[in-house]
Amino acid sequence: MPLNIIIGTQWGDEGKGRVVDLLAGQADYVARYNGGDNAGHTVQVGKQTFKLHLIPSGVIQPHTVGVIGNGLVVNPAVLLQEVEMLRALDIEIGPKRLKISHAAHIITPAHLALDAAREQARGIGKIGTTLRGIGPAYNHKTERSGLRVEAMRDLENFAESLKAHVETINKQLTTLYNAEPLDAQAVTEEYVNYAHQLKPYISNVSILLSQALQHGENVLAEGAQGTLLDLDHGTYPYVTSSNPTAPGALVGLGLGVGHIGHVIGVTKSFQTRVGEGPFPTEVDGSTAGRLRGTGVNPWDEFGTTTGRPRRVGWLDIVLLRYALRVNGVTELTITKLDVLSGLDALKICVGYRAGDQVYADLPLGPTDLDYEPVYEELNGWREDIMSVRAWDDLPAAAQAYVEHIEALCGVPAKMISVGPEREQIIQR
Cα 214–216–219 angle (5° rounding)?
90
Query: Contact residues for ligand GDP (CB under 6 A)?
Result: 8, 12-18, 40-42, 44, 298-299, 304, 335-336, 338-339, 417-420
Stretch of residues binding ligand IMO (CB under 6 A), selected from 7-15, 169-177, 188-196, 283-291: 7-15
Contact pick of 304, 333, 417, 424 for Mg ion (by CB under 5 A): 304
Stretch of residues binding Mg ion (CB under 5 A), selected from 32-40, 89-97, 255-263, 333-341: 32-40
The binder of 15, among ligand GDP, ligand IMO, Mg ion, none, by C-beta within 5 to 8 A per type, is ligand GDP
The binder of 243, among ligand IMO, ligand GDP, Mg ion, none, by C-beta within 5 to 8 A per type, is none
H-type alpha helices, 224-314: 247-253, 285-292
40 belongs to the binding site for ligand IMO (CB under 6 A) = yes
CB of 41 to Mg ion, least distance (A): 6
Determine the Cα–Cα distance for residues 229 and 367; give it in Å rounded to an integer: 11
- The answer to whether 122 and 107 are in contact (CB under 8 A) is no
User: Of 218, 214, 159, whose CA–CA distance to 191 is shortest?
Assistant: 159
The binder of 38, among Mg ion, ligand IMO, ligand GDP, none, by C-beta within 5 to 8 A per type, is ligand IMO
Q: What 3-state class would DSSP assign to 173?
A: helix
- Cα 33 to Cα 66, 139, 246, 249: the distances in Å are 11, 17, 10, 5
Per CB under 6 A, which of residues 69..108 are in contact with ligand IMO?
none
H or E stretch including 312? strand 311-313
- Estimate to the nearest angstrom the gap between the alpha carbon of 195 and the chain centroid: 26
> Given the complex with ligand IMO, which of 240 and 327 has the nearer CB atom?
240
* Active site residues per annotation: 13, 41
Contact pick of 7, 9, 11, 13 for Mg ion (by CB under 5 A): 13
231 belongs to the binding site for ligand IMO (CB under 6 A) = no
**To 10 degrees, the CA torsion angle through 192, 197, 203, 208?**
-160
132 belongs to the binding site for ligand IMO (CB under 6 A) = yes
What sign does the dihedral 70-99-304-130 (CA atoms) show?
Answer: negative
CB of 232 to ligand IMO, least distance (A): 14
Contact pick of 2, 128, 261, 351 for ligand IMO (by CB under 6 A): 128
H or E stretch including 402? helix 396-409
417 belongs to the binding site for ligand IMO (CB under 6 A) = no
Determine the Cα–Cα distance for residues 260 and 249; give it in Å rounded to an integer: 10
Binding site for ligand IMO (CB under 6 A): 8, 11-13, 38-41, 127-130, 132, 134-135, 224-226, 229, 240-241, 274-275, 304
Binding site for Mg ion (CB under 5 A): 13, 40, 304
